[in-house]
Structure formats: C-alpha cells, structure tokens
Amino acid sequence: MDLTQILEIASCTDPGMVRSHNEDSIAADAANGLVVLADGMGGYNAGEVASGMATTVIVTEMQQILSNARPFDVDQRTNQEIATRLVREQVLKANTSIYQAAQSQPQYAGMGTTLVTCLFFDNRVLVAHLGDSRLYLSRGGGFKQVTRDHSLLQEQIDSGLITAEQAKKAQHKNLVTKALGIDPTVEPEIHEYPTKPGDIYLLCSDGLCDMVEDDDIGMTLQALGGNLKLAAQQLVQMANDNGGRDNVSVILVRVLREYPGPRGVMAKVFAWLK
C-alpha cells in the first residue's frame, strides 16, 4: 500500500549554532509510511556514523520486508500482526550493526545513538523509541508529547525526586538511560496509537525540545500547519535563535486522509489469491 498520497512529510536538520558537525540523522520513506530520526553520540565523527547506520539499516531493511509483506498481515504462528515484531527486529538489527562496528573499530568505540521511528499503516502509527529523541502530536487545538524519554532526568521526575519545573534547570539533561548500539542487546519501547486525518506528528532530537518551549512548538505547528516545509524550517530556526546549542532535527508528518488496511471477506480472498 503506497502512502505517498496520504502522508505529507517534511524534514529539516541543522548542526545548530555551536557544534561543528551534525550527529543527527533523519530518513523518511513516504511510500511505506516510515520515518526515522536518530541523534548519535560518541567521539570525533562516531556519533554521525552511529546515527547514520541506525537510519540506513532500519529504512533499507524495512523497505525490503515491506516489498512483499504488509504491516497488518497476521503471523500464522502467533496470530498477531507482524508490524510490532518487524519494527522491533529492525531496531535490534541496527543495534547489532552499530555495536559490532563499535567493538571492532577502535575509532568507533563507545558510539551509540538515540532513536525514534514511526511506521504508519491502517489508520494507526507504531512508535518505537530509545533515549531522549521525541515524538509529539498536534491534533485539533492540542499539542502533546507522545514518547517518554529514557533519561536520568525523566527517571528522577518519575520517582518524585525532582519536579518538572526543577528538571528544566537541571544540569544532567544529556544523560540517557537507553540507547542503540551501546550493549549487545536492547529493548526498544514500542507503542501503537490510532491516527486521525489532520494529525501532525513531530519527531525531533533534543536539540529542539531543549531550546524551544513546548508551547512555542505547538503554536508553530498550529500557525504554520498549512506549510509543513516552512514549519520544519521555522522550528529549526527557533532553536537556533534561542542559542542552538545542539544539533537540531525535525521530521513532520501530516495525515491527509484515512488509510485503512483492507478488511473483511474480500481482503481475505485477495490475500488467499496472492
């Protein structure tokens, strides 16, 4: 199922005002309804390598699989849709690739990357994430954060040690508790949500949400939703105007209309004929 006419995707990535190079990596495949954003870490250019590997592995592997399967196909053995398993497996594949590269090549030692990826299918979105790259949703007049960071700060907020207000001023914003490529295995957090036409999904690296208040991000999407490309550029510009201390990356995905997966008897017949 080709989603090119259903999803409008715009993205923008920028090294920011301070860093000399961009360790963020973004990729989008509108036809398969897949977007990936990764924020790499590690010395020299290892961060770029890790984030680049993450986006490349996930996109190419998913493209290959989705060329002869659909996310809402049901696995005969488990009787469950294959989407979650597919996404999880590709994330693990990316983890293995990065981890092995980091182990085998001294200049890549210790590299890793955060990740947020969305797969759109059947009026739904499947979200997998690791670390502090985020997914936000702008729906109707509202704007909210969908993913919950895997970071020390978030854990401290959850355990009641500090309040969200204190967290804004905290100094260890940069410590993530989960990332891709650091350990031989990793468990991504995966959730599924229903989508509605008109929804705008925002994937971003911490360079955006650390520099720009959530309210301002929400307002920008509200005001510039009509021109997604401009909205993406505007968000990056706002982060840079506020100091741009980190690489800034955003991917915006707008759902233009419904995209239900085939259902019912006819679908089963077609599936059988295939």
**Interaction of residue 187 with another protein, rule CB under 8 A:** no
Nearest to 212 by CA among 246, 165, 163, 252: 246
Residue choice 155, 184, 256, 267 for contact with another protein (CB under 8 A): 155
27-46 mask for another protein (x: CB under 8 A)?
Answer: ------------x-x-----
Fill in the DSSP letter of residue 9. E
**Interaction of residue 4 with another protein, rule CB under 8 A:** no
Task: Report helix, strand or coil for 221.
Answer: helix
**Interaction of residue 128 with another protein, rule CB under 8 A:** no
Alpha-carbon span 8 to 226, nearest angstrom: 11
**Interaction of residue 188 with another protein, rule CB under 8 A:** no
Residue choice 44, 64, 144, 172 for contact with another protein (CB under 8 A): 172
Q: How many residues bind another protein (CB under 8 A)?
A: 50
Task: Report helix, strand or coil for 196.
Answer: coil
- Give residue for tokens 């690489």: 247
- Give residue for tokens 């360790």: 23
64-103 mask for another protein (x: CB under 8 A)?
Answer: ----------------------------------------
Task: Report helix, strand or coil for 268.
Answer: helix
Alpha-carbon span 153 to 172, nearest angstrom: 7
H-helix or E-strand spanning residue 27:
strand 24-29
Alpha-carbon span 35 to 236, nearest angstrom: 18
Residue choice 12, 38, 128, 182 for contact with another protein (CB under 8 A): 182
**Interaction of residue 17 with another protein, rule CB under 8 A:** yes
Residue among 126 and 248 whose Cβ is closer to another protein? 248
**Interaction of residue 153 with another protein, rule CB under 8 A:** no
Task: Please name every residue paired with 169 in a beta bridge, in sequence order, or none if there are none.
Answer: none
Q: Which pair of structure tokens corresponds to residue 259?
A: 């995209």
Task: Report helix, strand or coil for 255.
Answer: strand
**What is the nearest approach in angstroms of another protein to the Cβ of residue 227?**
5
Residues that bind another protein (CB under 8 A): 17-18, 39, 41, 47, 112, 114, 131-132, 152, 155-156, 159-162, 168-169, 171-172, 174-179, 182-183, 206, 210-213, 216, 219-220, 223-224, 226-227, 230, 234, 237-238, 241-246
